[in-house]
Amino acid sequence: MKKIFNSFLIVAVMASVASISSCTKTCDPGFEGTDCKTEVRAKFLGNYAASDSPGSLTYSVVIGNGTSLSDVVISSSFSDNYFVNSVKATVSDKTITIARQQPDSDNYFVEGTGTINGKTITWNYNIINATVSPETAISYTATWVKP
């Protein structure tokens, strides 16, 4: 009986050690990093040299803070000044998402997603003309690089 108890005790201790060593620190929503003090959006913020196609668009664009920790605002220079107003986006890990929106309230919409790798965001986005029926969209691919 003593051997069975010792075996059970050894297994229980090993399981406890394994579960303790496998724990990882979970950051509050909107934060990341080893100390959980870095805003998730921080890696996206800044000035970018943008190159979009079709059309060989080249322009400068700024991503700034939005209203919450996962929100950012893309300056109105987005897509070579296509919109008068800024475009809103959300970030999560390495992804930035533009939910379908109409920045200028004129039936021209934008939507898309991008992925950041280092100082470069690679985008796929659409500008949609809803002033016609059926609505038409132009699909863009873009590379934005922080200098």
> H or E segment at 146?
none
Residue closest to 144 by CA, chosen among 127, 123, 125:
123
Using the predicted structure, report yes or no on whether residue 92 has a pLDDT greater than 80. yes
The topology under which CATH files domain 31-145 is: Lipocalin (2.40.128)
Task: Residue 26: count other Cβ atoms within 10 Å of its Cβ.
Answer: 7
CA atoms lying within 13 Å on the CB side of residue 100: 6
pLDDT band at residue 12 under the 50/70/90 scheme: low
Q: What is the pTM of this model?
A: 0.81
Q: Yes or no: say if 120 and 143 are a contact pair by the CB < 8 Å rule.
A: yes
pLDDT band at residue 17 under the 50/70/90 scheme: very low
32-87 pLDDT tens trace: 999 999 999 999 999 999 999 998 899 999 999 999 999 999 999 999 999 999 99
E strand residue ranges, the chain: 31-32, 38-39, 46-53, 57-65, 71-74, 87-92, 95-101, 108-117, 120-129, 136-145
Domain boundaries, the chain: 31-145
* DSSP annotation of 133: S
Summary mean pLDDT of the chain: 89
CA atoms lying within 13 Å on the CB side of residue 59: 17
- φ/ψ of 5, rounded to 5, equals -65, -45
Residue closest to 111 by CA, chosen among 20, 94, 12, 103:
103
